A and B are shown apart, each in its own frame.
Chain A
Amino acid sequence: MYEEKSDGELVTEVLNGNDDLFYFLIRRYEKPIFNYIYRLVKHREEAEDLAQETFTKAFFALHQYNHTYEFSTWIFRIALNVCRDHFRRKKFLFFSLNTPVGEEEETEWGDLIEQNSFLDPDGELSNQELREELEKAIDHLPLKFKEVIILRHLEGLSYNDISRITNLPVGTVKTYLHRARKKLREELKDYLD
């Protein structure tokens, strides 16, 4: 029954004191939010902690949620801020905004990729090497590019949504995406020919 309610209706119910219904909002967004955070921090425990922090913050800030925007945009924005705070805490922010995050967990990353989960759009991407190269190339992107490329191409969000989440003008979002894709193409040129 509650699964069928819209985000806005669930938020209203929670704000009216039915706190338990927040569970359904978590269930609805845990996958994209966890995937997004995990792809930024590349560490399972940290990603779970940050995802938990994201939903907890959202719960306690729910009265600030503006119903004119999508709940999904709002929760992604909280996730992004939680991740940025996380990097700041780890004194990575300055480093990460300009240069790639280190490759110290590359092995773990490789281990976590599910062998059979990668689709094969052109009948030629079933190869493990290419997949790993793509993961590595994303990993090499500066954080600001990585944020938008994941939101756009892995979470499938619109330019406007990304603009609201990252607090960047739509034009800047497009520029970042263009530059990010250019960098990825450069790194993967052997596979894209």
Chain B
Amino acid sequence: MDREEEKLVKYLESLPRFEAGEDFADQVMCHIEERKKRPSYAPYKKWVVVALAAIFLLLVFLSDLPLLPRLEISPSLGYRKVELVFYSPAQNPRTVAVAGEFSSWDPLPMNRVNEECWKIQVELKPGKYQYGFLIDGEEWIADPASLRQVPDGFGKFNSVLVVNGEYSS
């Protein structure tokens, strides 16, 4: 350590020390007392983890849910670009969204082409998908331009989109 460094170390060691308030220790003890009164779930934590793991394994082996990741070389491999068109001269809506099995029935807002026509492009794997349109955020209707329709179980109909290619129905 040369003289410069020795000087620096001395300066560092001479820096002022900062202190907490006078009643700091009392405050911490109060805080600890408060924490003690709170219910603690720590003893149950490992049992919760074990139970969740058991439920997950049961679901993996006893259900068809896609819980395990599937190996795919490219995520975009096998997808088809599909353009969905909503065309209805009579309706004249302010907003149109499409929802279907491909979106887990989450509405996907469509792009307005003109007053009568709305479009959206989606990437789907080959297969059959039920879908419908959501008009102005409240009215569900089947695709007026499609004849492929199935009952939706609530007294109305869903349209059916068929994406060509190899798929298991």
Contact = CB atoms under 8 A, between A and B. Distances in A.
Nearest to A114: B16
Q: Which of B5, B18, B35 has the most CB of A within 10 A?
A: B18
Contacts of B17: 31, 35, 117, 154
Contacts of B21: 48
Contacts of A134: 11-12, 15
A145 interface: no
A23 B25 contact: yes
Interface string A91-122: 00000000000000000000011100111111
Contacts of A125: 10-11, 14
Contact of A181 (B8, B15, B16, B29): B8
B28 A56 contact: yes
Interface residues of A, number: 45
Nearest to A153: B12
Q: Which of B24, B26, B28, B35 has the most CB of A within 10 A?
A: B28
A162 interface: no
Contacts of A119: 14
A121 B4 contact: no
A156 B24 CA distance: 23
A157 interface: no
Nearest to B13: A153
A61 to B, nearest CB: 11
B20 interface: yes
A34 B20 contact: yes
Contacts of A52: 24, 27-28, 31
A26 B25 contact: yes
A51 B24 contact: yes
Given A121-B10, A121-B14, A184-B8, A34 B32 contact: no
A38 interface: yes
Interface string A112-141: 111001111110010000110011001000
A34 B19 contact: yes
A84 interface: no
A143 interface: no
A55 B18 contact: no
20 contacts: A23-B26, A27-B25, A30-B19, A34-B18, A34-B19, A35-B19, A51-B20, A52-B24, A52-B28, A117-B17, A121-B11, A125-B11, A131-B15, A153-B13, A154-B17, A184-B12, A185-B4, A185-B8, A192-B4, A192-B8
Interface of A: 19-20, 22-23, 26-27, 30-31, 34-35, 38-39, 47-48, 51-52, 55-56, 59-60, 112-114, 117-122, 125, 130-131, 134-135, 138, 149, 153-154, 156, 181, 184-185, 188, 192-193
Interface of B: 4-5, 7-21, 24-29, 31-32, 35
